[in-house]
Structure 1
Amino acid sequence: MVQWIPQTAIPPLLNMSLNNTTALPNLVVLISGSGSNLQALIKAIHTGRLAARITAVISNRADAYGLQRAAEADIPTAVLSHQDFASREAFDQALQQRIDTYQPDLVVLAGFMRILTPDFVRHYEGRMLNIHPSLLPLYKGIHTHRRVLEDGGHEHGVSVHFVTPELDGGPVIMQAKVPVLPSDTETSLAQRIQTQEHVIYPQVVKWFVEGRLKLANNQATLDGNALTRPIQHLSV
């Protein structure tokens, strides 16, 4: 099993000018809620740990707090409500058109609570990532923390994966695990999972924008090596 330990001793790339955005990869981030993973990406960019720029944050909900996070970081925002469209396909077509105006190198799903149509997913094949609060392939779908507790599980976690037409079924790149404590509630478990999310998602995005992470033949590769198992994050 491949393991990864964050290189906390390595100083950020402070010599990189954050105003020189012409050569930076473009990210479009899709959200539906608070945008805490969006904030983790913003922080990684501002500290020089992630050499990219977020060209737009798009939400399907006008009340998503993540839109305020984006505005405070001077990132353009857009709201495209799925309720304004007669079908899932029509919404995804409009969303795709909006995303493509920003010419993204990578589409980042950060708590975007929509099941995407196969045509939409294929359009961004190999350049769309998602983060899911479980140790995939366990607990696909929603209410993962509740389901782990109901099952009496002893371990839980989070996975970052490439998006494919299968719901939460794309190749998993990286995971972080946490123990399930006897005193845990959905809230406490979610909080510990979220802490890990904010570490591993910027790292995976960093690998992608550096050209190290790719999707080939429905398999994730890092530095040209196929990931037969997800990389495991070890906290230090």
Structure 2
Amino acid sequence: MAERARVAILISGRGSNMAALIYAARADDCPYEIALVSGDKADVPGLQLAHAEGAPILALDAKLLGASYWNTLQDALDAARIDTIALAGFMRIIPAEFVARWAGKMVNIHPSLLPLHPGLRSHEAVLAAGETTTGATVHLVSDEVDSGAILGQVKVAVLPGDTPDTLATRVLIAEHQLYPRLLAEFVSRPLTASWIEQRIDELASHLPEVGRKTSHGSPGWSVGSGKTPKLFAILADHHHGEEAIGLLVKASGPDEMGGLIEAHPDVYYWPKYYGAGGWLAIKLNRRDVDWDHVAEWLERSWRACAPPRLTKLMSITEEF
């Protein structure tokens, strides 16, 4: 089993969704572990429960810490080597800088079928609208409240005579089923070839005259509009029994390749049957991939393979 993702849970109260995540993490095949539980209040039932269940906790009081709260929290997340933040009833408005720091790595659960009824009092809004179905949504956190990309939802029937409390009780049951499953799927994505290929495709699409071309059955990216576009990147998914899902890019030669592999064996490796052709492999089925670094390698490999008319055009564009 691959190394588990390290998840931090942030709460503001009783932490029932937190508990669901803690218990789900005890399964042998769960792809995440709870590495920290914290929040904005120091004395809440959720922290007491997390402590009793053996989860690492950090009790913070946002009111007492004031402006230093978010820096203190960030320091704790860094110290715990957190990969993903899961908000579970965390009721504090998050600054844009913190959201940006954790973009694509922070998820939340909301008690409605977003985009319907964001914000507070969702159950009251559902009943006032006379709706017969509501539910829960897991989504990425963005600058706007409850507006990030939706990762998944579950529907819950609204019964005749429901009150906000009775409806909330059933929706909460659904949340406890939904959140652990979708969090597991979410933290597993960076280790899958399909997700990695999508990320590479997004980065490569910003370069001129990029197309798709296979290499011995492996997905590849080419440059040039002629009849024989030239490959500048290849995705090797466990190629010839290798453990890695690697991005193959053009290096300057054996000396550079050997130096990088020796200095950073956890990032670079010599790809079987490709290394002799000047291809360097970057291991991407890791949780700590620096995608800006990957983008730099893609552009560098593109420049090495692109026709002069394109590289000259890009150089002129960069000057302005």
Q: TM-score, normalised by structure 1?
A: 0.76
Cα 1:224/1:37, change in 2 over 3 Å: farther
Q: Does 1:161 align with 2:139?
A: yes
Conserved? CA contact 2:11–2:39, under 8 Å: yes
Distance 2:74 2:118 in 1: 24
Q: Answer with 70-79 or 120-129: which moved more.
A: 70-79
- Cα deviation, residue 63, structure 1: 2.7
Aligned mate of 1:135, from 113, 116, 122: 113
Cα 1:96/1:155, change in 2 over 3 Å: same
Deviations 1:194-236 (A, max 9, x none): 111111111111112222699xxxxxx79959xxxxxxxxxxx
What is the correspondence of 1:51-66 to structure 2 with a 5 Å cutoff? 51-66=31-46
Aligned mate of 1:181, from 159, 168, 171: 159
Q: Does 1:172 align with 2:154?
A: no
- Cα deviation, residue 128, structure 1: 0.6
Distance 2:76 2:30 in 1: 24
Aligned mate of 2:188, from 179, 202, 210: 210
Q: Which has the larger radius of gyration?
A: 2
Q: Which residue of 2 aligns with 1:72?
A: 52
Deviations 1:24-44 (A, max 9, x none): 221111011111111111111
Distance 1:213 1:146 in 2: 40
Deviations 1:55-109 (A, max 9, x none): 110021223211122112211111211211444xx43233222222211111110
Distance 2:99 2:156 in 1: 30
Conserved? CA contact 1:37–1:198, under 8 Å: yes
Structure 2 counterpart of 1:33, one-letter code: G
Q: Which residue of 1 aligns with 2:264?
A: none
Bigger helix share = 2
Aligned mate of 1:45, from 25, 29, 39: 25
Structure 2 counterpart of 1:115, one-letter code: I
Conserved? CA contact 2:3–2:31, under 8 Å: no
Aligned mate of 1:32, from 12, 18, 23: 12
Conserved? CA contact 2:43–2:59, under 8 Å: no
Q: TM-score, normalised by structure 2?
A: 0.57
Cα 1:222/1:179, change in 2 over 3 Å: farther
- Cα deviation, residue 49, structure 1: 4.5
Q: Which residue of 1 aligns with 2:252?
A: none
Distance 2:96 2:47 in 1: 27
- Give the ranges of 4+ consecutive aligned residues of structure 1 lying more than 4 Å apart after TM superposition: 221-225
Q: Does 1:122 align with 2:100?
A: yes
What SS does the aligned partner of 1:210 have? helix
Q: Which residue of 2 aligns with 1:92?
A: 70
| Aligned-CA RMSD value | 2.3
Unaligned runs of at least 5 residues, structure 1: 1-15, 17-21, 215-220, 226-236
- Cα deviation, residue 150, structure 1: 2.2
Aligned mate of 2:168, from 168, 171, 190: 190
By relative contact order (CA 8 Å, sep 6+), the higher-ranking structure is 1
Conserved? CA contact 1:24–1:51, under 8 Å: yes
What SS does the aligned partner of 2:74 have? helix
Q: Which residue of 2 aligns with 1:200?
A: 178
Distance 1:69 1:85 in 2: 23
Distance 1:223 1:68 in 2: 42
Distance 1:223 1:132 in 2: 30
Q: Percent identity?
A: 39
